[in-house]
């Protein structure tokens, strides 16, 4: 019984704050200070005010667009490189793999400033390019695909070659259907990484029309525009959290498996 | 086939690392020309009290965050690693904060931790205790952030520990039962040594995560009160994008990155010794 008590208290401490947040965002401002769970009346005032103050729909579009581009390109590029590293013979293959592992352990603090300078020099500040191009490929995705392709039988590839398939066709038509869990993992990680990233957009985007959702909500929250009104801030936070919470409720198992695999990279 | 990676590597990793090293010898506000300063930036680091304070703050954060995280995650994983009704539900509930943006979590906790009308202080008052200045007391603010970060990330570590716990062979526990070992004895004599690799993996992952602490203090406190929550990354960000000291902030970045790597290498040495 003690076990269930511990579990229930823990579960409540993780879930209750979210419920409180949603309820508070639906309450009139004067009620938030005294709210424990249910508001005296429900209102959408906070959401209307938020939509009036910041281009939140545009930010939602930006975030979806950027995350979709990054996820799509990550899948394509990481599979190509992973395939080459596991199934093709060429001179510097082992060297590339070594570099890959090395760059994974390189802290991002070292590249942050020079990458910003690079964006300035390329003229990519305040464009979608700075939010997408640097994130179209990542070492972890390459390693996941390399691992998955290694596990497939060579006969599958040989048979496709005899039928006259090119390498790209082999990857995407023949091999992809056999490694769905890996594709889902790389996709979820790329999408989440892109969706939740906030330091980089804060640095490279100044134009409000191009801001991503977490960036816009952050600046709204720390800037003066929420005018110290808690309800509006919380409404913005709910708006930012909702898409991921909904996706999580539907694809919960995939999320947990994907994230757990990040710990297994050694 | 590997050309996309090579382009990416050259543009966004190799070039920045080299350029970063070059920048450490210059003073540059990004608009004007670069100005050679020799080792000026490096000397400045050692006299920059605020930077050392930020480093100290970051270590303080880690010192609270990592043990707390391991204890809570291990406890929850141990409890979940039994035949439990609605096990999937509990696992999903613990994991939820981890998938949500740190921005949402921070805005939410800002309200929970408020002094006058924060939910936590109101509950404390209801229980007859005094209010705590969670975010306004310089001695407490970093502790609050460490607790919040633990709340957000612990779900991931519960899952990693669960995976680890399932690798422990059942026979060991059965043998211990025959010897009449207590629950605690089994936990400390069998479970902990067997999942040592997982524990160290958790330490390394949360160290790397902890060293990149940024958005929580940025939203919650702006580094205050009295710079008590100024993290190293927040300080680097401020040097670069509030004071436009590109050369100096690049130097800070290189210096801090080396520090991170040394800490992680030392931790990895520990793993190899103990296992």
Say whether residue B11 is in contact with chain A using an 8 A CB cutoff: yes
Exposure of B154 in the CB half-sphere (CA atoms within 13 A): 26
Q: What is the pLDDT of residue A198?
A: 92
The rounded distance, in Å, linking the Cα atoms of B118 and B98 is 23
B91 CB neighbours in chain A (<8 A) are 256
* Mean pLDDT, residues B142-163 taken together: 93
Contact B4 A77 (CB under 8 A): yes
| A120/B118: higher pLDDT | A120
Residues 207-236 in B contacting A (C-alpha not used; CB under 8 Å): 208, 211-212, 214-215, 218-219, 222, 232-233, 236
Task: Give the residue carrying structure tokens 């210096």.
Answer: B255
* Mean pLDDT, residues A91-95 taken together: 88
A266 CB neighbours in chain B (<8 A) are 201
Q: What is the pLDDT of residue A266?
A: 40
pLDDT band at A237 (very low <50, low <70, confident <90, very high): very high
In chain B the domains, ranked by start, together with CATH numbers, are 51-274 (1.10.3720.10)
Residue of B2, B25, B267, B271 to mutate when probing chain A, most A C-beta within 10 A: B2
pLDDT in tens, B242-258: 888 889 999 999 999 99
Nearest CA in chain B to A257: B159
Contact A236 B107 (CB under 8 A): yes
| Inter-chain contacts counted by CB atoms under 8 A, chains A and B | 229
* Mean pLDDT, residues B91-107 taken together: 91
Question: Exposed e or buried b for every residue in B241-262, given b needs 16+ CB within 10 A?
Answer: beeebbbbbbbbbbbbbebbee
* Mean pLDDT, residues B116-124 taken together: 84
Say whether residue B52 is in contact with chain A using an 8 A CB cutoff: no
Among candidate residues A80, A88, A128, A86, the one with its CA nearest the CA of residue B6: A80
Contact B80 A7 (CB under 8 A): yes
Q: List C-alpha distances in Å: B139 to A44, B19, B57, B223.
A: 39, 39, 11, 13
**CB of B101 closer than 8 Å to CB of A240:** yes
Say whether residue B127 is in contact with chain A using an 8 A CB cutoff: no
Among candidate residues A174, A121, A143, the one with its CA nearest the CA of residue A262: A143
* Mean pLDDT, residues B172-178 taken together: 89
Kindly report the average pLDDT of chain B as a whole number.
89
pLDDT band at A115 (very low <50, low <70, confident <90, very high): very high
**C-alpha distance from A43 to closest chain B C-alpha (Å):** 19
pLDDT band at B273 (very low <50, low <70, confident <90, very high): low
Q: What is the pLDDT of residue A265?
A: 46
Q: For residue B27, list its beta bridge partners.
A: B35
Contact A11 B260 (CB under 8 A): no
Of A204-218, A249-263, B45-59, which gets the smallest average pLDDT?
A249-263
Q: What is the pLDDT of residue A226?
A: 67
The pair of structure tokens assigned to B201 is 């993996």
**C-alpha distance from A126 to closest chain B C-alpha (Å):** 15
Domain A61-213+258-262 has CATH 1.10.3720.10: yes
Nearest CA in chain B to A12: B93
Contact A240 B159 (CB under 8 A): no
Q: What is the pLDDT of residue B64?
A: 95
**C-alpha distance from B175 to closest chain A C-alpha (Å):** 24
The rounded distance, in Å, linking the Cα atoms of B85 and B89 is 9
* Mean pLDDT, residues A197-208 taken together: 93
Burial class of residue A82 (count of CB atoms within 10 Å of its CB; 0-12, 13-18, 19+) = buried
Q: How far apart are the first and last CA of chain B?
A: 39
Residue A182 has pLDDT above 60, yes or no: yes
Of A199-203, B92-96, B129-133, B156-160, which gets the smallest average pLDDT?
B129-133
pLDDT in tens, B1-57: 888 888 888 888 889 899 989 988 988 888 888 888 888 899 999 999 999 999 999
Residue B128 has pLDDT above 60, yes or no: yes
Contact A256 B95 (CB under 8 A): yes
The pair of structure tokens assigned to A34 is 């005294």
Contact A234 B108 (CB under 8 A): yes
pLDDT band at A214 (very low <50, low <70, confident <90, very high): very high
Q: What 8-state DSSP symbol labels residue A151?
A: T
Among candidate residues A42, A48, A238, A201, the one with its CA nearest the CA of residue B111: A238
Q: What is the pLDDT of residue A227?
A: 64
How much is the ipTM here? 0.88
Q: What angle do CA B87, A244, A27 make, to 5 degrees?
A: 95
**C-alpha distance from A231 to closest chain B C-alpha (Å):** 10
* Mean pLDDT, residues A59-72 taken together: 96
B208 CB neighbours in chain A (<8 A) are 107
Percent of chain B at pLDDT > 90 equals 41
Neighbours of A132 (CB within 10 A): 19
Residue of A12, A13, A14 to mutate when probing chain B, most B C-beta within 10 A: A14
Among candidate residues A28, A69, A83, the one with its CA nearest the CA of residue A190: A69
* Mean pLDDT, residues B213-231 taken together: 90
**C-alpha distance from B57 to closest chain A C-alpha (Å):** 17
Residue of B34, B54, B104, B238 to mutate when probing chain A, most A C-beta within 10 A: B104
Burial class of residue A264 (count of CB atoms within 10 Å of its CB; 0-12, 13-18, 19+) = exposed
Contact B159 A198 (CB under 8 A): no
pLDDT band at A42 (very low <50, low <70, confident <90, very high): confident
Among candidate residues A193, A192, A186, the one with its CA nearest the CA of residue A145: A186
Q: What is the pLDDT of residue A263?
A: 61
Contact B96 A108 (CB under 8 A): no
Q: What is the pLDDT of residue A197?
A: 93
Say whether residue B246 is in contact with chain A using an 8 A CB cutoff: yes
Neighbours of B56 (CB within 10 A): 13
Nearest CA in chain B to A81: B2
Contact A221 B219 (CB under 8 A): yes
Q: What is the pLDDT of residue B118?
A: 83
Nearest CA in chain A to B82: A3
């Amino acid at each position: 019984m003690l076990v269930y008590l511990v579990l229930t208290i823990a579960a409540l401490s993780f879930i209750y704050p979210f419920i409180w947040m949603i309820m508070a965002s639906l309450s009139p401002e004067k009620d938030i200070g005294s709210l424990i769970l249910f508001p005296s009346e429900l209102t959408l005032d906070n959401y209307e005010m938020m939509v009036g103050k910041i281009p939140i729909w545009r930010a939602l579009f930006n975030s979806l667009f950027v995350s979709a581009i990054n996820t799509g390109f990550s899948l394509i590029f990481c599979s190509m490189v992973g395939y080459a590293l596991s199934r093709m013979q060429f001179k510097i293959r082992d060297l590339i793999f070594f570099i890959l592992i090395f760059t994974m352990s390189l802290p991002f603090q070292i590249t942050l400033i020079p990458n910003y300078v690079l964006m300035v020099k390329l003229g990519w500040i305040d464009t979608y390019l700075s939010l997408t191009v640097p994130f179209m490929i990542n070492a972890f995705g390459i390693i996941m695909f390399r691992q998955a392709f290694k596990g497939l039988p060579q006969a599958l590839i040989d048979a496709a070659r005899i039928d006259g398939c090119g390498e790209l066709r082999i990857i995407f038509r023949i091999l992809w259907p056999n490694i769905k869990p890996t594709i889902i993992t790389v996709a979820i990680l790329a999408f989440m990484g892109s969706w939740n990233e906030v330091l980089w957009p804060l640095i490279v985007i100044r134009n409000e029309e191009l801001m991503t959702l977490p960036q816009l909500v952050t600046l709204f929250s720390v800037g003066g525009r929420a005018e110290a009104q808690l309800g509006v801030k919380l409404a913005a936070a709910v708006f930012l959290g909702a898409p991921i919470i909904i996706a999580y409720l539907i694809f919960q198992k995939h999320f947990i498996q994907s994230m757990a695999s990040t710990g297994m990279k050694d | 086939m590997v050309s996309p990676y090579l382009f990416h590597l050259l543009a966004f990793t190799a070039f920045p690392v080299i350029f970063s090293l070059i920048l450490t010898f210059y003073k540059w506000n990004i608009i004007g020309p670069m100005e050679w300063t020799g080792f000026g930036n490096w000397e400045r680091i050692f006299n920059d009290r605020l930077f050392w304070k930020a480093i100290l703050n970051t270590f303080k954060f880690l010192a609270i965050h990592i043990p707390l995280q391991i204890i809570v995650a291990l406890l929850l994983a141990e409890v979940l690693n039994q035949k439990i009704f609605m096990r999937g539900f509990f696992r999903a509930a613990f994991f939820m904060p981890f998938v949500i943006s740190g921005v949402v979590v921070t805005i939410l906790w800002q309200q929970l931790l408020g002094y006058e009308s924060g939910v936590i202080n109101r509950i404390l008052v209801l229980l007859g205790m005094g209010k705590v200045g969670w975010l306004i007391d310089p001695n407490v603010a970093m502790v609050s952030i460490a607790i919040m970060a633990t709340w957000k990330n612990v779900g991931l570590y519960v899952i990693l520990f669960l995976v680890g716990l399932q690798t422990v062979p059942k026979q060991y526990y059965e043998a211990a039962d025959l010897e009449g070992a207590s629950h605690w004895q089994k936990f400390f004599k069998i479970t902990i040594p067997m999942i040592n690799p997982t524990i160290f993996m958790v330490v390394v992952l949360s160290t790397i995560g902890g060293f990149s602490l940024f958005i929580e203090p940025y939203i919650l406190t702006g580094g205050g009160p009295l710079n008590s929550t100024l993290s190293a990354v927040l300080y680097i960000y401020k040097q670069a994008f509030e004071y436009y000291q590109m050369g100096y902030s690049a130097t800070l970045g290189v210096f801090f990155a080396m520090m991170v790597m040394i800490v992680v290498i030392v931790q990895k040495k520990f793993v190899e010794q103990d296992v």
